[in-house]
Amino acid sequence: MGRNGSPHDVHPVFRGHFRWFAAIRPRYRAASHVRKLTCINVCVAAAAFAATVEAARKYGSETTMKAFVYQGPGKSALEDRPKPDITVPTDAVVRIVKTTICGTDLHILKGDVPTCTPGRILGHEGVGVVDKVGPAVTAFKPGDRVIVSCISSCGKCEYCRKGMYSHCVNGGWILGNTIDGTQAEYVRTPFADTSLYHIPADADEEALVMLSDILPTGFECGVLNGKVQPGSTVAIVGSGPIGLAALLTAQFYSPAEIIMIDFDDNRLEIATRFGATTVLNNTDGKAVEKVMKMTGGRGVDTAIEAVGVPASFITCEDIVAPGGVIANIGVHGTKVDLHLERLWDRNITITTRLVDTVTTPMLLKTVQSRKVNPKRLITHRFKLDKIQDAYETFGHAAKTNALKVIIET
Ligand code: ZN
Ligand code: ZN
């Protein structure tokens, strides 16, 4: 699609080319069938076809776009899809400039997310340029650079009025789930006024892709819910992108200790660079023992679960100090034992949350003022036509050392 404007701004040369190709195409097809074209005609037609395909690839057609589509468990493809349009007055259509892949997308591809049905364009993160707005949108106009939030919020329902956008009765996590998402050249974003965020003129767009989901998720579900405080002791179980996002944002509050627990030395090495005071590789199964020893048998004030499997949650149960908080971030697909026989008298709090993205404007300011640099989470970059490679890289993170991968349209 037009990289410097809407597809309606296709370069005049190519507009002419499309018309010309549309005119010759039926003749070319018919002629080929009866094999009456001279060799030179075929060559000219083939060259014209190749040029047109190239032009379409580069500048897009007026009505179609490339989009990454979930086709059922284990199946996905980059497809040509109709370009989205405004369907209700509060919508905007955003031309995606950069998007990324979330662990949740991998769950969808495995068939673990029943709300996301085959045929859905995936993706709930990204930055782009507003292409069109519905008549009820007042805060954005075509040409505005925006962050697309992973959560769509109507701003009017009971949950939205409480700041719990994730449970918006008209929105919530719908992008790339129950409606088409951002891993495409264009996306329709419902409730644009309350679900998009303006990008400041001097901002680094790539860093801001991390504000769609991962940074507010690590911060809200891990750090805020975990009540991280100055001087407190924090353990983060899971040093993947979400755990690292929690690690980066936990430091707003100057905890005395941040212990990172994982099985991957590369990720733990990154955690050290990102500010972890201690890293523990739990391959030997001794992380709990080591945490208890380090804390004089007391445990940690905040245990953040950032994986989403029973073992990591149980590690949090094992290391939380009396009066502490277990803050769950992970998406759990199987049941987890709650050991109340050990925890009932320990004054602990267990929190769960789907990211509300209420802190996105605040986090944007911290990125702008360089208090935090989420760009450090980006390890790989791909073009949209190589999105399968991006999934392959992201899906085999232990081998590729991938954290977040950027996909450019
Ligand atoms: Zn996500
Ligand atoms: Zn709402």
Q: pLDDT per residue over 283-312, tens digit each?
A: 999 999 999 999 999 999 999 999 999 999
**Residue 208 lies in domain:** 64-213+358-408
Q: What is the Å distance from ligand 1's center to 158 Cα?
A: 24
Nearest ligand by distance to the CA of 354: 1
Pairing of strands 320-328, 300-305: parallel
Other Cβ atoms less than 10 A from the Cβ of 332: the count is 15
Q: What is the Å distance from ligand 2's center to 358 Cα?
A: 13
Distance, CA of 248 to CA of 274 (rounded, Å):
7
CATH of the domain at 394: 3.90.180.10
CATH of the domain at 285: 3.40.50.720
The secondary structure of 75-94 as a DSSP string is: EEEEEEEEPP---STT-EEE
Nearest ligand by distance to the CA of 210: 1
Residues 238 and 347 in one domain: yes
Partnered with residue 278 across adjacent β-strands are 259
Q: What is the Å distance from ligand 2's center to 170 Cα?
A: 5
Distance, CA of 363 to CA of 210 (rounded, Å):
10
Residues 198 and 93 in one domain: yes
Residues 208 and 68 in one domain: yes
Q: What is the Å distance from ligand 1's center to 106 Cα?
A: 10
Determine contact, residues 189/150, Cβ cutoff 8 Å: no
pLDDT one digit per residue (tens) for the chain, 409 residues: 333 333 333 333 333 333 333 333 433 333 334 333 334 444 444 455 455 444 444 444 579 999 999 999 999 999 999 999 999 999 999 999 999 999 999 999 999 899 999 999 999 999 999 999 999 999 999 999 999 999 999 999 999 999 999 999 999 999 999 999 999 999 999 999 999 999 999 999 999 999 999 999 999 999 999 999 999 999 999 999 999 999 999 999 999 999 999 999 999 999 999 999 999 999 999 999 999 999 999 999 999 999 999 999 999 999 999 999 999 999 888 999 999 999 999 999 999 999 999 999 999 999 999 999 999 999 999 999 999 999 999 999 999 999 999 999 9
Nearest ligand by distance to the CA of 217: 1
HSE toward the beta carbon, residue 18, CA cutoff 13 A: 16
Residues 229 and 306 in one domain: yes
pLDDT for res 44: 46
Q: What is the Å distance from ligand 2's center to 267 Cα?
A: 37
Residues 75 and 203 in one domain: yes
Strand order in the sheet with 120-121: 75-82, 64-72, 120-121
> Structurally, how many domains does the chain consist of?
3
Q: What is the Å distance from ligand 2's center to 155 Cα?
A: 5
Q: What is the Å distance from ligand 1's center to 192 Cα?
A: 19
Distance, CA of 280 to CA of 360 (rounded, Å):
31
Query: What stretches of 196-240 show up as alpha helix (H) in DSSP?
Result: 205-209, 214-217
pLDDT for res 363: 98
In a domain, 38, yes or no: yes
Distance, CA of 17 to CA of 221 (rounded, Å):
52
Q: What is the Å distance from ligand 2's center to 182 Cα?
A: 21
Give residues with Cβ within 8 angstroms of 49, minimum separation 6: 21, 28
3-state secondary structure 314-370: HHHHHHEEEEEEEEECCCCCCCCCCCHHHHCCCCCEEECCCCCCCCHHHHHHHHHCC
Among candidate residues 310, 332, 351, the one where a domain is terminated: 351
Q: What is the Å distance from ligand 1's center to 212 Cα?
A: 8
Nearest ligand by distance to the CA of 150: 1
In a domain, 335, yes or no: yes
Give residues with Cβ within 8 angstroms of 16, minimum separation 6: none
Q: What is the Å distance from ligand 1's center to 282 Cα?
A: 26
Residues 288 and 321 in one domain: yes
Residues 78 and 208 in one domain: yes
Nearest ligand by distance to the CA of 159: 2
Q: What is the Å distance from ligand 1's center to 364 Cα?
A: 18
Q: Report the Cα 185 to chain-centroid distance in Å.
A: 15
Q: What is the DSSP letter of 184?
A: B
Nearest ligand by distance to the CA of 209: 1
Residues 226 and 324 in one domain: yes
Other Cβ atoms less than 10 A from the Cβ of 164: the count is 18
In a domain, 1, yes or no: no
Q: What is the Å distance from ligand 1's center to 102 Cα?
A: 4
Residues 53 and 68 in one domain: no
Residues 82 and 201 in one domain: yes
Q: What is the Å distance from ligand 2's center to 91 Cα?
A: 14
Q: What is the Å distance from ligand 2's center to 158 Cα?
A: 7
In angstroms, what is the C-alpha Rg of the chain?
24
Determine contact, residues 380/390, Cβ cutoff 8 Å: yes
Q: What is the Å distance from ligand 1's center to 273 Cα?
A: 24
Give residues with Cβ within 8 angstroms of 145, minimum separation 6: 97, 127, 128, 129, 130, 198, 199, 205
Q: What is the Å distance from ligand 2's center to 95 Cα?
A: 24
Residues 184 and 70 in one domain: yes
Tokens of 352: 């769960």
The secondary structure of 111-154 as a DSSP string is: T--TTS-TTEEP---EEEEEEEE-TT--S--TT-EEEEPSSB--
Provide the whole-model pTM. 0.84
Distance, CA of 61 to CA of 337 (rounded, Å):
53
Torsion of CA 146, 147, 152, 156, to 10 degrees: -60
Q: What is the Å distance from ligand 1's center to 298 Cα?
A: 34
Nearest ligand by distance to the CA of 355: 1
Torsion of CA 322, 327, 331, 334, to 10 degrees: 10
Q: What is the DSSP letter of 3?
A: T
Residues that place a CB less than 5 A from ion ligand 2? 154, 157, 160, 168
Going from the C-alpha of 5 to that of each of 10, 95, 145, 199, 356, the distances in angstroms are 8, 9, 12, 17, 31
Nearest ligand by distance to the CA of 161: 2
In a domain, 171, yes or no: yes
Residues 303 and 381 in one domain: no
In a domain, 2, yes or no: no
> With the C-alpha atoms ordered 60, 378, 93, 203, is the resulting torsion angle positive or negative?
negative
pLDDT for res 37: 37
